[in-house]
Amino acid sequence: MSGAPANSGQQVLIVEDNEALAENLAELLEPLHVNTRIAGTAGECERALQEVEPAVAIVDVSLPDASGLDVLRTLKTAVKDVEVVFVTGHGSLATAMDAIALGAFGYLLKPVDPEGFAQLVERALSAVSLRAERKQLARALSASETLHRTVVDSVDACVLGLRDSGAIVMANRTGRRLFGDALEGTPFSSLFEGDETIDEKLARCASGEATEGWVTQHGERLIRWSLTRVDEEPGSPDQVAVGTDITEQEALRKSAAEKEALAAVGVLTAGLAHEIRNPLNAAQLQLQLLARRSESDDVKGRVAVVRDELGRLSSLLDEFLGLARQGSRAEAHLRANDLFDAVIALEAPLCDEHGIQVASEPNDVAFFGESAGLHQALINLVKNAREALQEGGNILLRAATDGDHVVLSVLDDGPGPDTGSAFEPFHTTKAAGTGLGLSVVRKVAEAHGGGASLEAGHEGGAVATIRFPLRKG
Amino acid sequence: MSQRLLIVDDNKMLAENICEFLRDEGYDVHIATNPEDALNLPCFDGYVLDVRMPGLDGWSLRQRLVERCDCARFVLMTAFQDPSHRPAGETLNPLPKPIPFDRLLDQLQS
């Protein structure tokens, strides 16, 4: 081999009381380019160990102040990986054999054969460096494994190593969290409760065909899976399955799509409503004129019917606008009294016609919310109560705070509620109803983070309630 | 002498309908489809104003008219009933559209 010898720079400690022999041995090691140090006694050896860390020690079995075995122990304690070569006369061969049993690398008989000595020391040095190298490799390997394991474990997706047979051979942390700790050895298809297409997918992937992603449901979670073929390497799985949890993503996508659809409907409806409302208004005004100018009760009666029908169209328009408006909300500081006043101003004339009194309780409830939506919701509740009362009765608007919630109620003294799915769109038990009114109420309540309910009142009648968290802006 | 009224609504057809009705009731009724025109005419005894109009809304128009014609009566009408469309501090409730003739007369005569 060219260049410096492999063991160059390693430390060799010679523990030998015969100074001439010690120097002789040191000289024999010169071709190895090692650093040598000589200690004449066991005590000197201990001092030397404070300063140097020998890879190999050459120890005379019979020292004046200690036995070779004692020195061996001292050396092994001080330097864990040191190799010790004994030098012994014939008389102490037995000790040298004991030393081998205790972990010495080898021994030399006096008189020392120069070539055999150099070779033995070189072998000891190689053994030490080989061991050090192996240790370093093992450390590097373990670090690399830790690195990969940490990366694979910290991925927010289920990563499973599979055999072509479908057996799971490895699962990362997310995989174990989703499907339990005892995954290794179980078949991949067992995660899908007997879905037969799974084995097909595995086979396709095994034969190198591309496998498309697929989505499965596991309890509440939606997982999108993909299978990838792994290049064959010793110890690697045949395939890797990656499952990404798309539950939240899917929910967001759905709600965004819903919002978008509502907003689109909202824009369409607002435009359409404007186009419809103008001719509707004109027609109703003309009918009012017609009724006033006509002397005939028959004509007046028919005009009233047409007006009522147009009125239904008009309220259908309002209710549909209310449902569609949920796409675009503008919030503001509101006072319940203002909302109630506007609702009563609009509803009182109609209530009057049917002998119904509508009033509100004084209150100082103020909150942050969407005025147009709440106005429409209250109108719908009053309308609902008015239609339940039919002829005569009382409607009361009440606002209160309950802890950190706002409670807006519409109470009537009618026949009691028609509950069930009253808050579903197009549910109606009334001949005149569109079924949209209460679903608008619920939508508005939900848009404020709350809910709506319709119950029997404590003293008869019905109580419709909108309840949502109080916000001050 | 009959009372002079001005209807201000950018929708000419609706304004004409209301005009016809109020003439039946004996008022001397005029129409403006542009809110700016209302400011350039001499004072009327009463005004019927649409709330939502391009340029000047009914509330602002009323404010400007009150400064000039302080004893005039005002009726506002709107298709948008929720109170968020009402300026802060304003207590008058506009009449809903289509305007109920009975309530229009009530407000003009009260």
Residue A145: per-residue pLDDT: 87
In this structure, which amino acid lies at residue A217?
Answer: Q
Cβ <8 Å between A371 and B82: yes
Rounded to a whole number of angstroms, the distance from the CA of A289 to the nearest CA of chain B is 6
pLDDT digit string, tens, across residues A192-219: 886 778 888 888 888 888 777 888 888 8
Q: pLDDT grade, residue A431 (50/70/90)?
A: very low
Q: Range with the lowest mean pLDDT among A151-165, A272-286, A354-368, A425-439?
A: A425-439
DSSP 8-state symbol, B70: T
Residue A396: per-residue pLDDT: 94
Q: Range with the lowest mean pLDDT among A85-99, A369-383, A412-426?
A: A412-426
Residue of B nearest to A286 (CA): B17
Rounded to a whole number of angstroms, the distance from the CA of B92 to the nearest CA of chain A is 10
Residue of A nearest to B106 (CA): A349
Residue A102: per-residue pLDDT: 79
* φ, ψ at B28 (rounded to 5°): -95, 100
Q: pLDDT grade, residue A412 (50/70/90)?
A: very high
Q: Is the pTM of this model over 0.90?
A: no
% of chain A exceeding 90 in pLDDT: 24
Nearest to B20 among A277, A289, A372 (CB): A289
Q: Cβ contacts (< 8 Å) between A314 and chain B: which residues?
A: 98
Q: SS3 for chain A, per residue?
A: CCCCCCCCCCEEEEECCCHHHHHHHHHHHHHHCCEEEEECCHHHHHHHHHHCCCCEEEEECECCCCEHHHHHHHHHHHCCCCEEEEEECHHHHHHHHHHHHHCCCEEEECCCCHHHHHHHHHHHHHHHHHHHHHHHHHHHHHHHHHHHHHHHHHCCEEEEEECCCCEEEEECHHHHHHHCCCCCCCEHHHHHCCCCHHHHHHHHHHCCCCCCCEEEEECCEEEEEEEEECCCCCCCCCEEEEEEECHHHHHHHHHHHHHHHHHHHHHHHHHHHHHHHHHHHHHHHHHHHHHHHCCCHHHHHHHHHHHHHHHHHHHHHHHHHHHHHHHCCCCEEEEHHHHHHHHHHHHHHHHHHCCEEEEECCCCCEEEECHHHHHHHHHHHHHHHHHHHCCCEEEEEEEEEECCEEEEEEEECCCCCCCCCCCCCCCCCCCCCCCCHHHHHHHHHHHCCCEEEEEECECECEEEEEEEECCCC
Residue A276: per-residue pLDDT: 82
CA–CA separation, A262 and A324 (whole Å) = 6
Residue B82: per-residue pLDDT: 65
Average pLDDT (A20-40) is 91
Q: Range with the lowest mean pLDDT among A168-172, A339-343, B62-66, B77-81?
A: B77-81
| Residue A432: pLDDT over 50 | no
Residue A3: per-residue pLDDT: 45
Q: pLDDT grade, residue A473 (50/70/90)?
A: low
Residue A1: per-residue pLDDT: 42
Residue A192: per-residue pLDDT: 84
Q: pLDDT grade, residue B78 (50/70/90)?
A: confident
Residue A178 C-beta-side C-alpha neighbours within 13 Å = 26
CA–CA separation, A30 and A9 (whole Å) = 11
Residue A124: per-residue pLDDT: 92
| Optimal mutation site among B82, B97, B101, B104, interface A, most CBs of chain A within 10 A | B82
pLDDT digit string, tens, across residues A217-231: 888 888 999 888 887
Q: pLDDT grade, residue A323 (50/70/90)?
A: low
The whole-chain average pLDDT of chain A stands at 84
ipTM of predicted complex: 0.72
CA–CA separation, A380 and A428 (whole Å) = 13
| Residue A314: pLDDT over 90 | no
Residue A2: per-residue pLDDT: 42
Residue of A nearest to B15 (CA): A282
| Optimal mutation site among B19, B22, B76, B81, interface A, most CBs of chain A within 10 A | B81
Cβ <8 Å between A342 and B86: yes
Q: In degrees, to the nearest 5, what angle opens at C-alpha B8 toward C-alphas B5 and B10?
A: 155
Residue of A nearest to B13 (CA): A282
Mean pLDDT: which of A6-15, A32-41, A179-188 is highest? A32-41
| Residue A77: pLDDT over 80 | yes
Cβ <8 Å between B84 and A285: no
How many contacts (CB atoms, under 8 Å) link A and B?
Answer: 70
* φ, ψ at A450 (rounded to 5°): -130, -150
Residue A62: per-residue pLDDT: 83
Residue A404: per-residue pLDDT: 92
Residue B12: per-residue pLDDT: 87
Please tell me whether residue B41 adopts helix, strand or coil conformation.
coil
Nearest to B97 among A281, A293, A330 (CB): A281
Evaluate whether A112 touches A58 at the Cβ level (below 8 Å): no
Of B19, B81, B1, B99, the residue nearest A378 (C-alpha): B81
Residue A318: per-residue pLDDT: 73
pLDDT digit string, tens, across residues A219-270: 888 899 988 888 777 778 888 899 988 888 888 888 788 777 777 776 777 6
Q: What is the dihedral of CA A26, A27, A28, A29, to 10 degrees?
A: 60
| Residue A395: pLDDT over 90 | yes
Q: pLDDT grade, residue B65 (50/70/90)?
A: very high
Q: Cβ contacts (< 8 Å) between A379 and chain B: which residues?
A: 81
User: What's the gap between Cα A358 and its chain centre?
Assistant: 52
Burial label, B60 (beta-carbon count in 10 A; 0-12, 13-18, 19+): middle
